[in-house]
Structure 1
Amino acid sequence: MNSESKYQGSCFCGVVQFTVSGKPEGMGYCHCESCRRWSASPVNAFTLWKPEQVVVLKGADSIGTYNKTPNSYRKWCKNCGGHIFTEHPGMGLIDVFAAVIPDFPYEAGVHVHYQEHRLPIKDGVMKLKDVPLELGGSGEVIQE
């Protein structure tokens, strides 16, 4: 993937449409309780982008926001309820859910918050107890 790559994404109904461009800062799976509950699944596939790499093309007025904590502003389509992305202001990143950018060549590089997992995944990808040291976590690796 080169720095000029651009991928289309949308909510479930297509009212909200956006692009991501370039290369994400990271990709992986999150196993924390908040992501599990928000996504209604045992694990959430994330892609992390700088804000300027995410451009809403259509439906900005249909985007709802909920923040349980100041660390995460979760965004969804007010028309269909489809989850789109989560802004992380403290990290200066936006987590665009991998499932909403279908043509993006997703490759997980890490599992975060694996100590909270409900679905064991044996894929050879590094498992972190919480988050990387450079993002304020312990950086502690958990064995598969």
Structure 2
Amino acid sequence: MTSTYHGSCFCGAVEVEATGAPEAMGYCHCSSCRSWSAGPVNAFTLWQPASVRVTRGAEFVGHYNKTPNSDRQFCTKCGGHLMTFHPPFNLVDVYAATLPSLKFEPALHVNYAETVLPMRDGLPKLKDFPKELGGSGETLAEAA
């Protein structure tokens, strides 16, 4: 049986769904994600593009591209963040909080070299990204 998860922006004008299982879940500590999420860390769920779709309010989806690596999508009515398409990885990051029924089970931390919130949770802490995604694959020790 395939699971389908539903979510929306802050005001509910845009609704999204993700079907199946995410490719990965974890935390990103990079300065761009921290700034965009207005938090010290961003919880991500990565999906194949075909598994994610806007089911209502597509006309209210705005886009912001600080770099070619990230097409950040948000609701133009409320400013609520929805997802980010990462062309280099061909994956969509639907923010974990956007899909409230998905059980968030993080497996790793990425860009941990940039952290402002050290986390001791026993998960691997990658300096940048996994080798499979063009990073060094280097792990860092958990901060005390």
TM superposition score category, shorter chain reference: over 0.9
SS at match of 1:68: coil
Partner of 2:139: 141
Paired position in structure 1 for 2:130: 132
User: Structure 2 unaligned runs (5+)?
Assistant: none
Match in the other structure for 1:23: 21
Equivalent residues in 2 for 1:32-111, closer than 5 Å: 32-111=30-109
Extract unaligned runs of 5+ from structure 1. Answer: none
**Off by >3 Å, runs of 4+ in structure 1:** none
- Distance in 2 (CA, whole Å) between partners of 1:76 and 1:18 is 11
Residue in structure 2 matched with residue 117 of structure 1 by the alignment: 115
Distance 2:55 2:10 in 1: 15
**Residues paired across the two proteins, number:** 142
3-state DSSP of counterpart to 1:69? coil
How far apart are 1:18 and its partner, in Å? 1.1
| Cα distance between partner residues in 2 of 1:71 and 1:88 | 5
How far off its partner does 1:123 sit?
A: 0.5
What TM-score, normalized by structure 1, do the two folds share? 0.97
Instruction: Give the alignment's Cα RMSD to 1 decimal.
Output: 0.7
Paired with 1:5 and 1:25, the residues of 2 have a C-alpha distance of 14
User: In the aligned structure 2, how far is the partner of 1:121 from the partner of 1:21?
Assistant: 30
- Return the offset for 1:90: 1.5
User: Identity rate of aligned residues, in percent?
Assistant: 58
